[in-house]
Amino acid sequence: REGVTLVPVVVHVVWNTEDQNISDEQIASQIDVLNRDFRRTNPDADSTPAPFLPLASDARVTFELARTAPDGSATNGIQRRQTSVTSFDSDDAVKAEATGGLDAWPAENYLNLWACPLGGGLLGYAQFPGGPAETDGVVILQSAFGTTGTAAAPFDLGRTATHEIGHWLNLNHIWGDDGTGCSGTDNVDDTPNQAGPNTGKPAFPHVSCNNGPDGDMFMNYMDYVDDAAMFMFSTGQVARMQACLDGPRSSIGT
Ligand code: ARG
Ligand code: ZN
Ligand code: CA
């Protein structure tokens, strides 16, 4: 696609305890982050190390809470329910009313986001393009959602959703998902081959897999570093996301 794609978003808030019923304001703060990160207008963009600056790119995707529901009625793009489930996991139970969650809206027209309690230290998970419509979208731990309210450091800058929506648009983890080996690939040519995930706030450069002198592109949204340490997509990643919007997700957005 040329230009900027606007993606309608529905947020399904599935809560057990009152505090998990995150506010409209917290939801708005997440949409704001996405609109900065996917246009490279994020305030920390200039923290990108000089050698990687030429590769840092505008993904040309924006997001807005849906204003029209699947039945044509007006909506604020936010659905809520209380559940007896104290904590969900990656089995997709949160994506169906029958299992304590909320049903997806049609995946060909909406990006479905679920905000809920998650167990096992999971911050979020995503479905790649090509999967069943009923489970399409992204699940985010309520305390890693947005930048205000229940958002908790070091995952309180909304970057879990940025990372997971990267997967939803067909991006792989930057280290190639091969443990700490050097044989995996993220299917992107301009990201350096990298051994394993980076965490926390690494110091530049961090060299692995003979990728010196600049080392890993650990400040990429598709690594595992803290929210404050990730601030770019590469040109090759943007091409892959745009190919997804031209291909398996061509029905989404305007
Ligand atoms: N799926 C990853 C996890 O649950 C998300 C990592 C997001 N990273 C971040 N800094 N927010 O661990
Ligand atoms: Zn991931
Ligand atoms: Ca690569």
Task: Work out whether the CA dihedral 175, 171, 37, 65 comes out positive or negative.
Answer: negative
Give the number of the atom of ligand 1 that is nearest the alpha carbon of residue 163: 7
Which tens digit of pLDDT belongs to each residue from 179-209? 999 999 999 999 999 999 999 999 999 999 9
For residue 14, name the pLDDT band (cuts at 50, 70, 90): very high
In whole angstroms, give the CA distance from residue 212 to residue 246.
34
The residue annotated as part of the active site, out of 25, 64, 97, 164, is: 164
Q: For residue 208, which ligand has an atom nearest its CA?
A: 3
If you average pLDDT over every residue of the chain, what do you get? 98
Check if 134 is active-site.
Answer: no
In whole angstroms, give the CA distance from residue 101 to residue 83.
7
Q: Which residues contact 199 (CB under 8 A, 6 or more apart)?
A: 224, 225, 226
Is the pLDDT at 58 greater than 90? The verdict is yes
Q: For residue 182, which ligand has an atom nearest its CA?
A: 3
Residue 27's pLDDT is what?
99
pTM over 0.90: yes
In whole angstroms, give the CA distance from residue 221 to residue 173.
9
Give the number of the atom of ligand 1 that is nearest the alpha carbon of residue 224: 8
Which tens digit of pLDDT belongs to each residue from 88-124? 999 999 999 999 999 999 999 999 999 999 999 999 9
DSSP 140-194: EEGGGSSSSTT--TTS-SSHHHHHHHHHHTTPPPTTTTSTT-S----S-SSSPP-
Pairing of strands 138-141, 124-126: antiparallel
For residue 1, name the pLDDT band (cuts at 50, 70, 90): confident
In whole angstroms, give the CA distance from residue 181 to residue 161.
27
With beta carbons less than 8 A apart as the criterion, state whether 100 and 83 touch: yes
Residue whose CA lies nearest to ligand 1 atom number 11: 160
- DSSP assignment, residue 202? P
In whole angstroms, give the CA distance from residue 187 to residue 134.
27
Ligand 2 centroid–CA 166 distance in Å is: 8
With beta carbons less than 8 A apart as the criterion, state whether 246 and 221 touch: no
Average pLDDT over residues 166-182: 98
Ligand 3 centroid–CA 174 distance in Å is: 6
